[in-house]
């Protein structure tokens, strides 16, 4: 996907593109830190700064060719296909007006992050600035968990924000903590910055656990397994030791009701006769049974409506209505699984686009990671670390998505944008050095993929 050097320099130096990049940084910070809602939470005044930033950003991205730059990449075309299928499925929705409203919201509020990142971030220097912005956003989210935390049946939540639900807050942390990890591991940073980033990462992990999100815990385990699979032997040992120490500390530090909740991950499948369960265990088991029920119903809806689904955002109404028609009470809940959320509400074709938008960016990042691991070129270690941390974010969030209804949020389009921007910056800036140092054809695969 590499273009001629003169065309590349023209795009980098384009004034409109530079202005769009500045707006994109501000937009990304507000979206991921939720700072506009936190300000409203503190002052009691609703802030419209996100809207004020979004509108000129979209216009500048369009005028500077950002949409065209983004859609040149196959990974972005999966999101284009996903959006087109939303529109195609609209006439078949069980509630067309509600699905149309949700489609407009996704197009206007969630999808722009893809074009903001992939269309505006061109150089490694600009990508580094974006990583700093996301690390600052992560710091705000972690500190917010200390300042504005509430309790929902003993579980940490951020009342009054977009991720007020404990499970949503856990998923948000899983997405953002790898960016703090990049800062903590960057040798070019000062010791104070690295120590601060490390401390925020550890405290973020603690907050993640205190949400009591079992999906978040599973995602952490998957991220650990990814480290043990892909890292070099010495780093694997280091990660394993750190994980063991932190696990022991967590058993002591997290509240007893949270430990009881985590202990029910496998408990609901079999409870010994006569065993007395705590209130937290009973709530957790009831939650698991409800999730299992909605999962079965969402799979059934996917089978009975395989092409167009029951309508975007309409599974809970569909499940409740059909259950009532059968004389049952019904749960009237979301699927609590992003994948069956898509398949049941938009059909199997939309699910294929959705999964493709996860797999293709992962493969892009994995190629960069493997190539830079073999290279002796300058900054190869930095490229390797960033690629791996982006993989951690992608795999962690995708794993947590098995337990959350977040298919129509900005997270995965943002990760696609990050994968595109990073791949393009590496290809344009470091391709000759990486290819020469690697002495193999692997990097050519990255360029042509």
Asked if the structure places residue 322 within a domain, the reply is: no
C-alpha pair distances (Å), 341 with each of 86, 329, 354: 13, 21, 11
Asked if the structure places residue 281 within a domain, the reply is: no
Contact, 383 vs 121, CB < 8 A? no
SS (HEC) of the chain: CCCCHHHHHHHHHCHHHHHHHHHHHHHHHHHHHCHHHHHHHHHCCCCCHHHHHHHHHHHHHHHCCHHHHHHCCHHHHHHHHHHHHHHHHHHHCCCHHHHHHHHHHHHHHHCHHHHHHHCCCCCHHHHHHHHHHHHHHHHHHHHHHHHCEEEECCEEEECCCCCCCHHHHHHHHHHHHHHHHHHHHCCCCCHHHHHHHHHHHHHHHHHHHHCCCHHHHHHHHHHHHHHHHHCCHHHHHHHHHHHHHHHHHHHHHCCHHHHHHHCCCCCCCCCCCCCCCCHHHHHHHHHHHHHHHHHHHHHHHHHHCCCCCCCCCCHHHHHHHHHHHCCCCCCCCCCCCHHHHHHHHHCHHHHHHHHHHHHHHHHHHHHHHHHHHHCCCCCHHHHHHHHHHHHHHHHHHHHHHHHCCCCCCCHHHHHHHHHHHHHHHHHHHHHHHHHHHHCCCHHHHHHHC
For the chain, 449 residues long, the average pLDDT of each consecutive 10-residue run is 78 94 96 88 80 92 95 96 97 94 95 96 94 96 85 67 84 96 90 94 94 91 95 92 92 84 64 57 67 88 96 91 77 88 97 97 95 79 94 97 94 98 88 51 39
Asked if the structure places residue 142 within a domain, the reply is: yes
Name the β-bridge partners of 155.
Answer: 152
Indicate the pTM of the whole model: 0.91
Asked if the structure places residue 305 within a domain, the reply is: no
Q: For the chain, what is the domain count?
A: 1
CA–CA separation, 319 and 91 (whole Å): 19
Which pLDDT belongs to residue 43? 82
Which pLDDT belongs to residue 42? 80
Among residues 229, 235, 223, 233, which one has the least CA distance to residue 392?
223
Range of the domain at 352: 5-264+337-448
Which pLDDT belongs to residue 448? 38
Which pLDDT belongs to residue 342? 97
Structure tokens at 23: 């707006």
C-alpha pair distances (Å), 111 with each of 6, 37, 79, 229, 319: 30, 20, 8, 32, 27
Which pLDDT belongs to residue 74? 94
How many Cβ atoms from other residues are within 10 Å of residue 422's Cβ? 25
Asked if the structure places residue 291 within a domain, the reply is: no
CA–CA separation, 104 and 98 (whole Å): 10
Angle between helices 124-147 and 411-438 (to 10 degrees): 140
Structure tokens at 290: 């409800």
Among residues 213, 393, 407, 197, which one has the least CA distance to residue 298?
407
Which pLDDT belongs to residue 354? 98
Asked if the structure places residue 314 within a domain, the reply is: no
Over the range 303-316, which residues count as b (16 or more CB within 10 Å of their CB) and which as e?
eebeebbbbbbbbb
Q: What are 315-321's contacts with CB under 8 Å, separation 24+? A: 315/341, 315/344, 315/345, 317/94, 317/95, 318/94, 318/344, 319/294, 321/94
Asked if the structure places residue 160 within a domain, the reply is: yes
Asked if the structure places residue 428 within a domain, the reply is: yes
CA–CA separation, 129 and 109 (whole Å): 23
């Amino acid at each position: 996907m590499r273009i001629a050097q003169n065309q590349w320099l023209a795009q980098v130096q384009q004034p409109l593109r530079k202005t769009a990049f500045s707006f994109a940084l501000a937009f990304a910070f507000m979206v991921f830190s939720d700072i506009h809602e936190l300000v409203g939470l503190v002052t009691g005044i609703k802030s419209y700064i996100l809207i004020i930033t979004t509108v000129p950003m979209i216009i500048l991205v369009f005028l500077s060719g950002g949409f065209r730059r983004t859609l040149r990449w196959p990974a972005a075309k999966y999101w284009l296909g996903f959006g087109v299928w939303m529109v195609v499925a609209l006439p078949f929705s069980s509630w067309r007006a509600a699905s149309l409203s949700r489609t407009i919201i996704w197009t206007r509020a969630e999808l722009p992050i893809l074009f903001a990142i992939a269309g505006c971030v061109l150089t490694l220097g600009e990508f580094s600035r974006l990583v700093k912005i996301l690390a600052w956003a992560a710091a705000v989210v972690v500190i917010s968990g200390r300042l504005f935390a509430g309790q929902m049946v003993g579980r940490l939540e951020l009342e009054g924000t977009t991720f007020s639900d404990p499970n949503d807050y856990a998923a948000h942390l899983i997405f953002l903590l790898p960016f703090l990890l990049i800062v903590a591991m960057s040798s070019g940073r000062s010791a104070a910055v690295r120590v601060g980033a490390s401390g925020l990462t550890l405290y973020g992990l603690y907050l993640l656990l205190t949400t009591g999100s079992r999906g978040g815990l599973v995602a952490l385990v998957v991220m650990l397994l990814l480290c043990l699979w892909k890292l070099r032997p010495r780093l694997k040992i280091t990660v394993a030791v750190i994980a063991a120490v932190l696990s022991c500390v967590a058993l002591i530090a997290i509240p007893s009701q949270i430990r009881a909740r985590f202990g029910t991950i496998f408990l609901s499948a079999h409870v010994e006769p006569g065993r007395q369960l705590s209130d937290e265990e009973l709530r957790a088991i009831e939650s698991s049974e409800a999730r299992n029920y909605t999962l079965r119903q969402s799979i059934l809806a996917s089978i009975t409506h395989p092409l167009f689904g029951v309508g975007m955002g309409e599974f809970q109404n569909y499940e409740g209505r059909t259950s009532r028609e059968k004389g049952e009470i019904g749960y009237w809940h979301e699927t609590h699984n992003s994948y069956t959320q898509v398949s049941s509400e938009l059909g199997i074709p939309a699910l294929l686009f959705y999964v493709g938008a996860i797999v293709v960016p992962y493969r892009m990042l994995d190629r960069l990671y493997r190539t830079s691991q073999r290279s002796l070129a300058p900054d190869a270690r930095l490229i390797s670390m960033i690629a791996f941390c982006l993989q951690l974010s992608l795999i962690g969030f995708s794993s947590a998505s098995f337990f959350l209804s977040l298919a129509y949020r900005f997270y995965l389009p943002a990760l696609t944008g990050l994968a595109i921007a990073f791949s393009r910056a590496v290809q344009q800036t470091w391709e000759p050095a990486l290819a020469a140092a690697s002495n193999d054809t692997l990097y050519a695969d990255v360029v042509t993929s």
